[in-house]
Structures are given as structure tokens and as C-alpha cells.
Structure 1
Amino acid sequence: MNFIVISPYYPENFQPFTIELAKKGINVLGIGQEPYEQLGPDLQGALTEYFRVENLEDIDEVKRAVAFLFYKHGPIDRIESHNEYWLENDAVLREQFHIFGAKPNHLRKTKFKSKMKKYFAEAGVPVVPGQVIKTEKDITRALKKIGLPMIAKPDNGVGAAATYKLTSQADVEHFIDQWDHETVYFFEKFVNSSEICTYDGLVDRNGTIVFETTFDYHYTPLELLESQKDNAYYILKTIDPKLQAYGRAIVKAFGMRERFFHIEFFREGDDYIAIEYNNRPAGGFTVDVYNFAHSIDLYRDYASIVAGEEVAKRTFEPQYCLAITRRDTTQYVHSEEDLRSRYAGQLKMEKRMPRAFAALQGDTIYILTTDNRTELEEMIAYISQTHS
């Protein structure tokens, strides 16, 4: 089997995907921008060949790289990056070279918020009313049909980027002033809930879920964007059966194969409202957070499903696992040394955040585990406490 990894070096925490594929005897080929010398011995040892391109965003250059590797190594069986940034290019390459996996037409239902909503409804999962915005007349229609307050997001966008909360006519006028009138937006009814949770997991090549979990955001992505809060989220030990049923129905409706998924919901009382389906694992170091919470190795498990093998048995009970960040510019009550000393047995990872994510999420991330929900809340309070 020939497997092309797009950008095997970056992000650094995704390098184990390449290494574990190679351990399964899969012929792993890399395409990236970094010089070969920069890859390091572990990655170099896992890659049969590495093709350096000047610009990964130049799809024609990347196509030529794939064509060369095809010519040299034979048909390509998989192309993958697991990275939101390259999802569309990955799909274009799969279609061009007739490779298994998500093609551009498959991604349309996960790329546009308006299309996601139709699949959520098809799965029988609650959604709020929304409308595609292409013109100012569409805004007028949305105001009449949906009414304020509304949330405005690019129809094709990720996370909380370029998002507006519209609570008054003045907010609407401000949006119109800021809007380039070319980016298609999606307006939907604002949900007055500060609780956002997820249903995340991995499906095999038949679409069967082989891993599932859930986590809660301590702050919503919009709060992070607006208030520069420290990012904090935590894996829960159990999944609410209702959330699990919704999540499984959505995964079936979207029909993806051999992929991670990350689905976000508002929690409203004892029910949930679907927000967004992401055709990849949650960002940053979340694969590591999954692993520490469940005492598993999803890098290896992904390699197993690609190789057509069973994933490793789950032999440990899940724990709460907290991922929390700190900002270099914030003065905290407790020093890094205090944190490391207090949680010496529970601090599983401490890493600098990649520059691309630091502005939104924070500069250093700490990943900790606990069996106790009360201690989890105490961890968040202790680590994030600042001088008044």
C-alpha cells in the first residue's frame, strides 16, 4: 500500500501518524515544504521518500509531486493530512488520481454551514433556523424570517473566525459596513447557551465507529475570540446517551469513511442543538488529549484501520482529561513551577502552541488527567487564576 502524507512535518504532533503507518508495513511517502534535513531521524526513518515542494498551496505543484511518486512507486492508495487547512486540496488530489477517500463533492456537505444543517435535520437532530446571505436583500429577509438576535458566520468557514453577533439594528448596520459583499454568510438564530460540547471519534473504511468520545469547552470559541480567555476544554468520562444517539445518527447521515470526525453541539437543558461537523480530529493537541483520557493510541489505531486490522481493545476506564492554555502576556497567581509541583503525577504533557494558534488559544498548553470532576474544576481555577 502506498500512502502519501501531506505535510508530514507540520504540525509536529501529527508526526506519529506517519510513524505508525510505517510500523504497519505501509509504504509512506511525504510531500511537504520543509527541507529533508529538518524532518528529524524518526520521520526520515518512517518515510520511504520525501518530495519537497516550494509551496504546498500551489495545487499544480503538488499534483506534479503526486504524479512523480505515482510513476516511481505505483498506484497511490491513500492521501491524507488530517489538517483542516489542507482538507480541500487533499480531496482534489484524491479525485485527480482516483484514490479512496473524501472527494470535493463529499466535502461540500462539511464545508458549508448551510449544507451541514440539512444533514443534521436528516439525521433527526435539533437545529436552529438559518439563511444563506449573498445580498443585503437576504439580510432583510433573514431579519423578518429569523429575527434578532442572530449569529453571522461565513458559510464556508472554520471556528469563530469572522463571526458577528447581531443583537440590534446597529449590529446589523455594522456587519453590512464590515462585510465585503463577496463572502457568502450564513445567518442563524442565536442560541443563548454558554455550553458547547462535542461528539468526536474515528470511523473505519466501512463507516463503522471504532472510537467515540465527548468533551466540553470551558469557554465558547466566540468567548475566546472576543475576550482573549485562556482556552480550556476537557474530555468527559462518559457520553450522555442522547448526545451519543445524535452523534451516531449524524455520522451515518454524512457517510464518511476511514476518517476522524469532530461534531460540535450547544447543550440546552437536557437536549442538544447541532452546530458544526468537522471532517477531521479536533485541532491543536486534541488527539493527545483523547489518548490520555482513554489510555489509548489513536495514531496507531488509525494506522490499524488503514491496514485493515482491528483496533486495539479498550482495556482502561476513561478519565477526565483537561487541556488548558496560558498566555505569555498574562500575570498568573501560580507560577509554572507551582503548577508542575502541584500536579506532578497528573501533568501528562506541556507544549508550546504553534504560532498559528497561539493568538486565539494561548501560548503554552498543559494536559492533565483526573478521576474526579471536583478536582478537574479546581485544576481550571488554579491554573487560570490571575492577579486582579
Structure 2
Amino acid sequence: MNFVFISPHFPPNYANFCSQLHKLGVNVLGIGDAPYETLNQSLKKTLTEYYYIPNMENYDEILRACGHFTHRYGKIDRIESNNEHWLETDARLRDDFNVFGVRSHDVQRIKFKSHMKEEFRKAGVNVPRGYVVNNIHEAYHLIKEVKYPVVAKPDKGVGAVGTYKIENEQQLEHFFSIKDEHPYIMEEYIDGKICSFDGLLDRNNRAVFYTVHQNCDNVMDIVHHNLHTAYYSVRNVDEDIYEQGMKILNVLGLPERFFHLEFFRRSTGELVVLEINMRPPGGLTLDMFNYANDIDIYKEWANVVVHNRFESAYSRPYHCAYICRKYDRSYTFTHEQILQNYSPWITHHTSLAPMFWKAMGNYAYLVRDPHLENIFEIKNYIHQQ
């Protein structure tokens, strides 16, 4: 099998995907914007060949790289980055080289929130009322129906970047005075806690692995108010989130992929779907899969790609939490004190790349324990200022 991996060096944990493919005898052919000599030695050992492109936004250069690989190794079997940023590039390359996976005609359904909303309606799940608004008059029409507050966000976008909560006419006018030319979708504001349905689909569109993560705060509030990011995996997945998640995935019909579905859980218990990303959840969540279940998700992903098998049993014996710190805070306890007091529970800790700082914090701890009260004790200790 010839597997072209786009940007195998970033984020750093994605080198694990290449390593596991290599162990299964796959030709791993990397394309990236980091010079070969800067790659770490373990990644170099897993790559059959690496093609350096200084500007990865130049599609013709990536096309030329894939043409080179085809000439040298034969037909390309897979092209993947597992990265939101390269999703459209991956799909375009699959079109051009007739490779299995998400194609360009699929991308709108998983990149544009307005198209996602149509897929959610086909699946029969609850969605926030709203649509793309092109001017303030269309916004007034929506607000007449749903009332303030409303949320405006880029139709094509990820997370809470460029998202606005609008609570009155003055804020609405201000939004339209500063918004850029890109389409924005406006929706009713949903008061609820965000949870995500995350996992991996095999080639037959079966969820061979799935779990749920609960956010401690709203992502929009984290970004806009510089709050701490913290979220944790649950040990028991509610039946309704599994059923609604699978309805959506079945409608989309995009197999052999990771998925990350975000829901609001209202105080009434009702679920409202927010958006879907057909790639691994961000940050260190893949590693949280592993620590919560004592599995190797990188190995199992490679098994699915090569053999269409997921071999590990999992029963969610632990909660695993992501707990961040920010460099602009003065904390009560030092990093050394955290490790001294809680090292048996801390499975991993690391600084984060600057591009993740706003949403994910500057430094992250992964903590696991069977009991949620212990997770919150450690979270409160780490965050105490």
C-alpha cells in the first residue's frame, strides 16, 4: 500500500500515525513544509520518502509531489493528513489521483455550517434555528423569529474563532459594521453545556471506537474571555448521544475516518447538534482516547486503513481530562508542586504550539482517574490562582 501523508510532522503526535502504518508494511510517503533535516529521527525512519515543499499552499507543488510518488512507487492508495487545515487539499488530490476517501464534492457538507445543518435535518436531529444572513435586514428577520441573543459565526470555520454573541440591536449594528466579506451564519443562542461524540469509523461506516467528552466551559466563552480550557472523557456514553451521532454519520456516509461531533445539552436534557468535523478531535484528545482506555488509537487507525479491523477491546475504565494553564496567570502552585502531589494521576504534560494558545492554553496536563471527583480536585489545584 502506498500512503501519502500530508504534513506528517505537525502536530507532533501525528508522527505516530506514520509509525504504525510503517509497522504494517505500508510505504509512507510524506509531504511537508519542514526541511527533511529538521524532522525527528523516529519520523524519518518511518517515511519511505519525504518531499519538501516550502509553501504548502501551492497546490501545483503538492500535485507534482504526488505525481513523483506515482511514477516511483505506483498507484497511490490513500492520501490523508487527518488535519482540518488540509481537508480540502486532501480531497482535491484524491480527485486528481482517483484515491478512496472524501472527495471535493463531499467537502461542503463537512466544512460549511449551513450545509452541515441540512445533513443534520436529514438525520432527524435537533439543530439551532438559523441560516446564512447576507445583510442586517435578513438578520432582523431571523431575530424576529428566534429573539435575542443570537450567535453569528463564519459559515466556513472551525471552533469559536470569529464568533459573536449578539444580545441587542446596538451589538447587531456593530457586528455588521466590522464583519468581513465572508458569509456568516446566524443562529439562535443555545443555553447548554457542550459535549462531543468522538471516534473512528471503519471502511463499512461502523463506529469501531467511540466516546464522549464533556467541556467544563463553553468554547466561545473560553476564546472571548480568556478562560481556562478543561474537558474530560465520560465513562458511560448516554444512549441518546450515541443514537443521534450515528444517525448523522450514517447520513454523511464518509467511512474510514475519525469524527468529532459537537452537541449542546440543554438543562432539560435535550440534545441540540452544533457541528461536525470529519477528522480527529483537536489538541491531545487522541492521546486521551489511549489513556482512558489503555489502547493505542494510532495503531488501531492503521489497522482500519490496512486491514479494516479494530482489534482492541475497550471499556472506558478511566476518565481522562485535559487541563490547561496560561502564561498570563499567577498560580498558587508551581508546576513542580503539581507533579510532586499528583504525578500518579498525570499521564502526560507538555507545552503547546503558539497557534493553539488562544483556544487550548499554553501548557497542558492530561489526568486520569476512575472517579470524576478526583479529576476535579486536580483541576482545581492546577487552576488555583
TM over 0.5: yes
Contact 1:81 1:90 in 2 (8 A): yes
Q: Aligned partners of 1:305, 1:23: CA distance in 2, in Å?
A: 14
Cα distance in 2 for residues equivalent to 1:359 and 1:242: 32
Give the secondary-structure state (helix, strand or coil) at the position aligned to 1:314. Answer: coil
Q: Which moved more, 1:137-146 or 1:358-367?
A: 137-146
C-alpha separation in 2, matches of 1:134 and 1:80: 34
Choose from 240, 243, 246 the match for 2:244.
246
* 1:274 partnered with 2:273: yes
What are structure 2's unaligned runs of at least 5 residues?
Answer: none
Tell me how far apart the structure 2 counterparts of residues 184 and 317 of structure 1 sit (CA, whole Å): 41
Q: TM-score, normalised by structure 1?
A: 0.97
1:19-98 mapped onto 2 (5 Å cutoff): 19-98=19-98
Distance 2:206 2:124 in 1: 19
Shift of 1:100: 0.4
Q: CA deviation at 1:220?
A: 1.1
Q: Secondary structure at the match of 1:276?
A: strand
The aligned counterpart of 2:302 is 303
Structure 2 counterpart SS, 1:225: helix
Separation in structure 2 between the aligned mates of residue 73 and residue 109 of structure 1, nearest angstrom: 33
Residue 188 of structure 1 is matched in structure 2 by 187
More deviation in 311-320 or 121-130? 311-320
Contact (CA 8 Å) 1:242, 1:271: kept in 2 or not?
no
Structure-2 change in CA distance of 1:315 and 1:246 (3 Å): closer
Q: Which one of 220, 223, 231 corresponds to residue 222 of structure 1?
A: 220
| Deviation of 1:135 (Å) | 2.8
Tell whether 2:289 aligns with 1:290. Answer: yes
TM-score (norm 2): 0.97
Q: Is the 8 A contact 1:134 1:183 kept in 2?
A: no
Q: C-alpha separation between the residues in 2 aligned to 1:379 and 1:120? A: 37
2:287 partner amino acid: D
Once residues 242 and 14 of structure 1 are traced to their aligned partners in structure 2, the CA distance between those partners, rounded to angstroms, is: 31
> Structure 2 CA distance, aligned partners of 1:347 and 1:341?
10
User: Which residue of the partner structure matches residue 312 of structure 1?
Assistant: 311
| Cα distance, 1:13 vs structure 2 | 1.2
Contact 1:295 1:316 in 2 (8 A): no
SS in 2 for 1:307: helix
SS of match in other structure, 2:14: helix
CA distance in 2 between partners of 1:174 and 1:365 (Å)? 36
Aligned-pair CA distance for 1:145: 3.3
Report matched runs for 1:1-12 at 5 Å.
1-12=1-12
Structure 2 CA distance for aligned equivalents of residues 244 and 104 of structure 1: 28
What amino acid does structure 2 have at the position aligned with 1:379? I
Quote the offset at 1:316 in angstroms. 5.2
Amino acid paired to 1:18: C
Q: Residue 324 in 1 paired to residue 341 in 2?
A: no
- The Cα of 1:168 is off from its aligned counterpart by 0.3
Shift in alpha-carbon separation, 1:373–1:214, aligned structure 2, 3 A: same
Matched, 1:108 2:108: yes
Name stretches of at least 5 consecutive residues in structure 1 with no aligned partner: none
Q: Give the AA of the match of 1:42.
A: S
Secondary structure in 1 matching 2:307: coil
- Secondary structure, aligned partner of 2:57: coil
Distance 2:314 2:143 in 1: 52
Quote the Cα distance in structure 2 between the aligned partners of 1:22 and 1:316: 28
Q: How many residues align?
A: 384
Q: CA deviation at 1:114?
A: 1.0
Regions of 4+ moved over 3 Å: none
What do residues 217-259 of structure 1 show as CA deviations (whole Å, max 9, x unaligned)? 1111111111111111101111011111111111111111110
- Aligned partners of 1:372 and 1:192: how far apart in 2? 27
The amino acid that maps onto 1:219 is D
- Report if aligned partners of 2:195, 2:213 keep a CA contact under 8 Å in 1: yes
Decide whether the 8 Å contact of 1:349 with 1:367 is kept in 2. yes
What is the aligned partner in structure 2 of residue 338 from structure 1? 337
After superposition, give the CA deviation of every residue in 1:303-325 in whole Å (9 maximum; x if it has no partner).
00111142123155431001111
Indicate how the Cα distance of structure 1 residues 213 and 113 shifts in structure 2: closer, same or farther if over 3 A, else same.
same
Whole-angstrom distance in 1 between the partners of 2:347 and 2:312: 22
Query: Are the equivalent residues in 1 in contact too, given 2:197–2:262 (CA < 8 A)?
Result: yes
Question: Alpha carbons of 1:358 and 1:175: their partners in 2 closer, same or farther (altered >3 Å)?
Answer: same
Report the equivalent of 1:362. Answer: 361
Say if 1:8 and 1:273 are closer, same or farther in 2 by CA, change over 3 A.
same
Deviations 1:125-153 (A, max 9, x none): 11121111123332232223333211001
Secondary structure of 1:109 counterpart: helix
2:328 is paired with a residue whose SS is coil
Q: Where in structure 2 are the equivalents of 1:258-273 lying within 5 Å?
A: 258-268=256-266, 269-273=268-272
SS in 1 for 2:25: coil
Instruction: State the 1:356 CA deviation.
Output: 0.7
3-state SS in 1 of match to 2:142: helix
The answer to whether residue 128 in structure 2 is matched with residue 128 in structure 1 is: yes
